[in-house]
Amino acid sequence: MGELASYRLSEIGETNCRIWGRYSGKLDPLALFWTGSGIELNVQASELWVEVETDYDCHEQWMSVLVNGAHVSRQMLPKGRSEICLFRNMNPQETKAVRLMKDVQAMSDDDGACFLIHSVRTDGSFHPVKERRYKLEFIGDSITSGEGTIGAQKEWDWISMFFSSVHDYAALVSDACDAECHIISQSGWGTLTGWDNDPRHALPLRYEKVCGVLKGARNEALGAGADYDFSFWQPDAVVINLGTNDMSAFEQPAWRDEKTGQTFKQHKNEDGSFVKADAERFEQAVIDFLGKLRTYNPKAHLVWTYGMLGSPLLKLIEHAVWTYSVRTGDQNAAFILLPDTTSETVGSREHPGKKSHEAAAQVLTNYLKAYLAAK
């Protein structure tokens, strides 16, 4: 083993250091915002370390490490700056593909949350990272954040420990399709409202930003609230998995803004059907979001998915996607129903577990492989 040398990410260069997930454009340090964001390196060395800095007010940061595609470690990170070993005492003559992944979603209710990569140390050399065949973007809620993919079925605590970006369907589809992916996801958020009818918790409202769900002075300084440069990374397909929380809004009491007194509510009729005006309001939100996605991703195939936690909004979403295509003439959009979670495939917090994500990933992989290969 040789002497370890320290490198900033800007010194390694973009050919030898792949950045996963949306980021502000700043590398020294690199702020990781979204689920599954991180770095990928090809290193010929016996050991590799990374210097990270994390903070939080409530929800601690977790990270996973993949070496040559295998998930070799997962850990909670302490506050402050730390050096974490990604691998050690390996054959120095062989090159290892290494990915560090942020396992926790962007925590919108934790202003102190931050995850920075300052540098890496190694006794070897860096080599070009493999170019993936495709680029995929995934937009969703807790399902896409990987909530419930780890932990016992009986767990109900809403904590960072039960999120994992490694086992969610987005990661599985991307690996199977040989794709690099970006994930834009937030637990409890929807297309029109959040699960509790809060209209501020609609992901389409924050899509233009680097990570618009985050608040606080530190995240602002790191660039989370800046406009995202879509020319930097254009996906071949955008997969949207929203609707689960929009359905919850029909079951929940009205949301009320304590400052202004404003209220918002999605309603059902006495027979359990959706109030027509509210159903149409949700459909229009789907149509509008598809239009926004097309504006920023002019060549991407838009795939709206739904169904892993039931599908009561199925007809509304299908009709909205069809209406969008008819009104705009955009035939590059589709709807895919995903397999429902069962008692055998459920994970922690009654969310889809690993087996449920595998089933959903298989459906999406089969569809995307066929579609992208035919382009």
Determine how many CB atoms are found less than 10 A away from the CB of residue 111: 17
Residue type for position 294: R
The pLDDT tens digits of the residues spanning 23-59 come to 999 999 999 999 999 999 999 999 999 999 999 999 9
What average pLDDT does the structure give for the chain?
Answer: 97
- Once rounded to an integer, what is the mean pLDDT over residues 141-148? 98
Q: What's the half-sphere exposure (Cβ side, CA atoms, 13 Å) at 280?
A: 3
CATH number for the domain whose boundaries are 5-127: 2.60.120.260
Q: What is the pLDDT of residue 80?
A: 97
- Once rounded to an integer, what is the mean pLDDT over residues 110-114? 92
- Once rounded to an integer, what is the mean pLDDT over residues 246-266? 96
- Once rounded to an integer, what is the mean pLDDT over residues 279-289? 98
- Once rounded to an integer, what is the mean pLDDT over residues 239-256? 98
- Once rounded to an integer, what is the mean pLDDT over residues 199-209? 98
Is the pLDDT score of 1 beyond 80? no
- The CATH architecture annotation of domain 134-373 reads 3-Layer(aba) Sandwich (3.40)
Q: Residue count of the chain, please give it.
A: 375
The fraction of the chain above a pLDDT of 90, given in percent, is 98
Mode of pairing for the β-strands spanning 17-20 and 95-102: unpaired
The pLDDT tens digits of the residues spanning 286-318 come to 999 999 999 999 999 999 999 999 999 999 999
Q: What is the pLDDT of residue 375?
A: 77
| Reduced 3-state DSSP string for the chain | CCCCEEECHHHHCCCCEEEECCCCCCCCCEECCCCCCEEEEEEECCCEEEEEEEECCCCCCEEEEEECCEEEEEEECCCEEEEEEEECCCCCCCEEEEEEEECCCCCCCCCCCEEEEEEEEECCEEECCCCCCEEEEEEECCCCCCECCCCCCCCCCCCHHHECCCCCHHHHHHHHCCEEEEEEECCCCECCCCCCCCCCCEHHHHCCECCCCCCCHHHHHCCCCCECCHHHCCCCEEEEECCHHHHHHHHCCCEECCCCCCEECCCECCCCCECHHHHHHHHHHHHHHHHHHHHHCCCCEEEEEECECECCCHHHHHHHHHHHHHHHCCCCEEEEECCCCCCCCECHHHCECHHHHHHHHHHHHHHHHHHHHCC
Shortest CA distance to 216 belongs to which of 102, 29, 57, 61?
57
Q: Is residue 76 a contact partner of residue 161, using CB atoms and an 8 Å limit?
A: yes
- Once rounded to an integer, what is the mean pLDDT over residues 122-148? 97
d(CA 281, CA 248): 15
- Once rounded to an integer, what is the mean pLDDT over residues 215-240? 96
Is the pLDDT score of 2 beyond 90? no
pTM higher than 0.85, yes or no? yes
Residue type for position 28: D
Q: Where are the domains of the chain?
A: 5-127, 134-373
What Å distances lie between residue 217 and 112, 151, 366, CA to CA?
9, 33, 43
Shortest CA distance to 81 belongs to which of 33, 36, 37, 49?
49
- Once rounded to an integer, what is the mean pLDDT over residues 234-240? 98
Sign (positive or negative) of CA dihedral 297, 205, 23, 40: negative
- Tokens 């926790």 map to which residue? 104
Is the pLDDT score of 107 beyond 90? yes
Q: What are phi and psi of 36, to 5 degrees?
A: 75, 0
d(CA 116, CA 139): 23
The CA-to-CA distance between both ends of the chain, in Å, stands at: 48
pLDDT band for 67, please (50, 70, 90 cuts): very high
pLDDT band for 13, please (50, 70, 90 cuts): very high
